[in-house]
Amino acid sequence: MMMPLWIDVGTLDDIPPMGARVVKSLEGDIALFRTADDRVFALYDRCPHKGGPLSQGIVHGASVTCPLHAWVISLETGAVEGPDEGCVHRIAVELTGGRVLLGLPASRLVANG
């Protein structure tokens, strides 16, 4: 297994509270989410139902609701909350000195978008 490469993608202040920001990767857009208590999570920006842009959804607690069909996805696990089923790939995040770092394999290098 390849060790993650920690990539600086901006500051906590770049992500609106209870909102999202998108960064580009070679494998598709990544949505960074910020909760009301300033926790940061990263998921691929595609709902498993119909590919809706999760970054445009509503953040509530530690979940996001897809803007297309109201599927609710856990930001902590990437799992869809019942009664629906599915999962979104989650990406490791570290918050260090106000900077947001994504833990990606070298094959998934990210460029700020």
**Banded pLDDT at 2 (limits 50, 70, 90):** low
The residues near 36 (Cβ < 8 Å, ≥ 6 apart) are 17, 18
Of the two residues 13 and 1, the one the predictor is more confident about is 13
pLDDT > 80? residue 105: no
The fold adopted by the segment(s) 5-111 is: Rieske Iron-sulfur Protein (2.102.10)
Residue 36 tokens read as 């009301």
What are the domain boundaries of the chain?
Answer: 5-111
Question: Are the beta carbons of 105 and 14 closer than 8 angstroms?
Answer: no
The residues near 70 (Cβ < 8 Å, ≥ 6 apart) are none
**pLDDT tens for residues 48-96?**
999 999 999 999 999 999 999 999 999 999 999 988 899 999 999 999 9
Q: What is the Cα gyration radius of the chain?
A: 13
DSSP 41-59: EEEES--TTT---GGGSEE
**pLDDT tens for residues 24-36?**
988 899 999 999 9
Question: Are the beta carbons of 98 and 10 closer than 8 angstroms?
Answer: no
Quote the percentage of the chain above a pLDDT of 90. Answer: 81
